Structure 1
């Protein structure tokens, strides 16, 4: 894995503060489980209200989990005064999402000035077993001179 150098010395606090403002992750129970420059893992526990009619974690929830891990992996490398935004993603849902816990592990493949390419694997965990259920490839844009919070959150 490539070692990346963040362009903001306060990258970790900025990522965690931004994640805390993400109400959708709070709604579904998502939490950051690991964070390093260019990498972020986001996990959630299985809940019946997040499943589709056959009892699998809904593909939209799986995608949201992966997109969030991708976005914060990219954001960890962006300069002060910028914000990430997904401009493209492709996800392969490779196996039914059945498990006790789901973990999306994002890792930056290439960090450019404007575009960042991120790969995310989503695993379903049951006890000590882990199974790859999805893989995403996403492109994030670095929106410079764009605050990462709405005006009312900035005071």
Structure 2
């Protein structure tokens, strides 16, 4: 499967998800002056449901992701949404979600947004996170998007929301990172 990405020259809301058709064009404006990639030519064989299933298999192979009950809910070329279900042992001493859990949600979503561009053999080479307010709720939702990519690395950004039934999601953190393509996994040699 061949995926082609070009810099965004105009913006529109991101409307493509796992239920969308394979020949759709995805564009997104992720905020003040930051523009995401647009897929001008998606390979006709690209099946977004298959892409989502592949991302779920990669996540399931990560013991730490299973420990934190992480789930991929959407993935597309250059975007990903993951959730972490919150339980009491993920809280800090004041009852809020521990910052390390929020940081993990940022890290994993930043990487999964770049996955469809580079494949599964990628790592986070660095990221920064800004905690905006304490997180409380039943789950964290991290929405990530690729801002720009070269042949071997991508800059990604994400917003992390705390969610509670019957309430509006609360933006609790935002992050930006660099994701790098690496060689073959040592487990596959």
CA RMSD of aligned residues (A): 2.3
The answer for the alignment partner of 2:60 in structure 1 is 20
Q: Which runs of 4+ in 1 moved over 4 A?
A: 5-11
Q: Are 2:113 and 1:73 aligned?
A: yes
Greater relative CO (CA pairs within 8 A, separation 6+): 1
Distance in 2 between residues matched to 1:146 and 1:129, nearest whole Å: 42
The answer for the alignment partner of 2:100 in structure 1 is 60
Q: TM-score, normalized by length of structure 2?
A: 0.71
Distance in 1 between residues matched to 2:180 and 2:89, nearest whole Å: 32
Gaps of 5+ in 2: 1-27, 29-36
Structure 1 or 2, whichever has the larger Rg, is 2
Distance in 2 between residues matched to 1:106 and 1:71, nearest whole Å: 9
Q: Which has a greater percent of strand?
A: 1
Distance in 2 between residues matched to 1:101 and 1:18, nearest whole Å: 21
Q: How does 1:1-150 map to 2 (within 5 A)?
A: 1=28, 2-4=37-39, 12=51, 13-79=53-119, 83-127=121-165, 128-143=167-182, 145-147=183-185, 150=187
Aligned length, in residue pairs: 148
Q: TM-score, normalized by length of structure 1?
A: 0.85
Post-superposition offset of 1:15: 2.6
